[in-house]
């Protein structure tokens, strides 16, 4: 959001939010650390699965502000907890994906393509182009993209 006029209350709200998060970092329980570990684990799937954003997962889980504040204030226990969750998640998710690719190859590719295709809505949230020129550009770009993928796919197989 672009602000043309300075709103001092917006800065105070943001500062209060950061201070509240900093206070929360100091008073975390074991269950909070366990939740941060699991959140890091779930967010790490973005490193393995296409079309999934780790930051979005952290936002949905409500951990993003805590994680960024921990990084800003170098709060080592939170950083290490989330980092260990990310490491465990990458190792586990990559092994699960490898198993599915080896066992159910076509179905796994279908799921991966579905994740990528579903992410188009996030990348291009405007919807259908309203102008004929933009529509033609979109269709031509889609065609060029398909042809490029087919060409590189054939070159890789030979």
At residue 62, the pLDDT reads 85
At residue 14, the pLDDT reads 45
Vertex 116 angle, CA 113 and 119, to 5° = 145
Count of other CB atoms within 10 angstroms of residue 101: 13
At residue 51, the pLDDT reads 65
Name the stretches of the chain with pLDDT < 50. Answer: 1-16
pLDDT tens string 141-150: 989 988 998 8
pLDDT tens string 108-132: 889 888 877 777 766 666 667 778 8
**Every domain of the chain and the residues it spans:** 8-125, 126-158
Structure pTM? Answer: 0.59
């Amino acid at each position: 959001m672009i602000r043309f006029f300075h709103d001092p209350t917006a800065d105070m709200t943001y500062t209060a939010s950061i201070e509240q998060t900093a206070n929360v970092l100091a008073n975390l329980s074991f269950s909070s650390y366990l939740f941060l570990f699991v959140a890091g684990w779930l967010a790490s799937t973005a490193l393995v699965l296409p079309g999934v954003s780790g930051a979005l997962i952290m936002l949905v889980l409500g951990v993003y502000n805590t994680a960024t504040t921990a990084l800003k204030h170098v709060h080592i226990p939170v950083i290490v907890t989330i980092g260990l969750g990310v490491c465990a998640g990458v190792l586990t998710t990559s092994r699960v994906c490898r198993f599915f690719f080896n066992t159910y190859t076509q179905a796994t590719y279908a799921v991966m393509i579905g994740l990528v295709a579903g992410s188009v809505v996030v990348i291009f949230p405007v919807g259908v182009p309203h102008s004929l020129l933009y529509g033609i550009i979109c269709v031509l770009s889609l065609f060029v993209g398909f042809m490029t993928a087919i060409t590189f796919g054939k070159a890789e197989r030979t």
